[in-house]
Structure 1
Amino acid sequence: MPEEVQWAKSFGKAWRERVGENPQEPGYTVMMTDTDTDTGESAELTDRKLALAWIYGDVVHHDRGRREEAGAFSLFERYRAAVPLVAFTMVHSMALLNKIRALQRQGVITLPPGVFDQEVVLKSTTWTGIGRAFQAAVGTPAPVDAVADFPEGWAPVGVREGAEAVSREPTGGNAVQE
């Protein structure tokens, strides 16, 4: 077991040094000056900040602050900085999974049955759903839940307010007005 503990410690250290917020591994810094304006605006960011701006700002669209910090740099610069970081996390994630599988086979750890059989990969990246869109004036109360009738003032998109609507049985969710 001491060998596995040492492996886990060194793996964790390598991960934190490469992927953590304050990496120990030196990368590069990109510096730019805007020559198209009279302001001479310049900016500089490390590869780590550019990579995280691409991951969390461009891809996930969650962290506006990171994206704004990297706004002076092109999508290409952000993407180029992210590629090595994403590759590192993928390779090391697979190494961790292989280590866990080996420990399970050796009986060093016990995981719930079927843990390696659960689906985690999507076979399709295209989804189609059937739905209906409704509209109402700003301030009109929303339905209380997905099965309640729409409050007064709601109509399907494309039906003018006040036009006669015909109710029909819903196939699930709110009653449909046509």
Structure 2
Amino acid sequence: MDPAEVRERQERALIAFVLRARRVRAHSLAEDLDALAKLQNPSFTVTVNAETRETTVRSEYPPEEQVESAAARIRPLLLNEEDAHCIKTMNALLYFARETGADADAIAALKKLREDWKVVASQKVSRSAYEVRVKQGEAPEEALADHELAYAWIYGDVVHADTDKRQGAHSFGVEERFHAAVPLVARVMVLTIRTLNTLEWLHGRRILPFLHDAFAEDVVVTRRVVVREGPVFVAPFVDGALPVLPALGAEAGSGWVEFADEFLPDQQ
């Protein structure tokens, strides 16, 4: 491949990642980074009643809708065919780091970051913290590791409707699938923010190409009320058609009337 094409492809990967990662960093789950970091590792509180010896296990999770929206934001980072795919991004960072003569420590740190992504993004590499087992009636016992349940929730319940994924974890119920997905989503979010911070550091030292537009572009919608000022025109909708639409900046033309003239009472 032509060197210019290679460079353009690497730059495109970085731009795509920056735009997506900024959306991830702007997500409500990332507002408290300490709390997000804790979600990476499932925790349980075990309580024993000293008198009755009754034992309870308590765990807490964010609202499913909040985690679902976070899963949608991280999804392109895990898809091989996306420009923003995490490994494409890491390869691009290494490409430009080598091109600009970054030192050995910087290269080693980027390689370590790439390995971290390979572990988190792989459905085959297990980082399981627990396993869930169920048995219904006379049916054989079923067991799935938490990372298998997590991907069943992501692919079967949320961002896709993969019947096979969901069917394989159907017996465990959506609640168990969701509980297993929370740490996975949190890990990807934390690693995304970590990678974005690294990218910003490299960009600030001109180790990367100029990506100002990717950092300056709006990536999330924050306004819930929008007020726009300017002339408004209306026209009758006759026989399924409007009068000819004028070009932007041109006079409204025949058939169009200013909103105020149409609806305000006549001023005598």
Counterpart of 2:200 (choices 84, 95, 101) is: 101
Assess, with a 3 A threshold, how the Cα gap between structure 1 residues 7 and 58 changes in structure 2: closer, same or farther. same
The question of whether the paired residues in 2 share the 8 Å contact of 1:51 and 1:79 is answered with yes
Q: CA deviation at 1:70?
A: 0.7
Aligned mates of 1:61, 1:42 — CA distance in 2: 27
Alpha carbons of structure 1 residues 81 and 109: separation in structure 2 relative to 1, 3 Å: same
TM-score, reference length from structure 2 = 0.44
> How far apart in 2 are the matches of 1:124 and 1:64?
37
Match 1:113 to one of 187, 212, 229: 212
Q: Which residue of 1 aligns with 2:240?
A: 168
Structure-2 separation of matches of 1:91 and 1:40: 40
- In the TM superposition, 1:64-143 aligns within 5 A as 64-123=163-222
- Residue pair 2:132, 2:146 contacting (<8 A) in 1 also: yes
1:30 aligns with one of 111, 121, 132? 132
Match in the other structure for 2:158:
59
RMSD between aligned residues: 2.3
TM-score by length of 1: 0.64
Aligned to 1:130: none
- Matching residue of 1:145: none
Q: Structure 2 vs 1, CA of residues 124 and 40 (structure 1 numbering), >3 Å: closer, same or farther? A: farther
Q: Is the helix fraction higher in 1 or 2?
A: 2
- Alignment CA distance shift 1:10-1:116 (3 Å): same
Higher relative contact order (CA 8 A, sep 6+): 2
> % of aligned pairs identical?
30
SS at structure 1 position matched to 2:195: helix
Deviation, structure 1 residue 170 = 6.3
The answer for unaligned runs of 5 or more in structure 2 is: 1-101, 225-237, 244-268
Unaligned residue ranges in structure 1 (runs of 5+): 126-165, 172-178
Q: CA deviation at 1:41?
A: 4.0
Residue number in structure 2 paired with 1:19: 121
2:42 paired residue number: none
Read off the aligned partner of 2:187 and give its amino acid letter. F
Mapped to 2, the partners of 1:86 and 1:23 lie a distance apart of 16
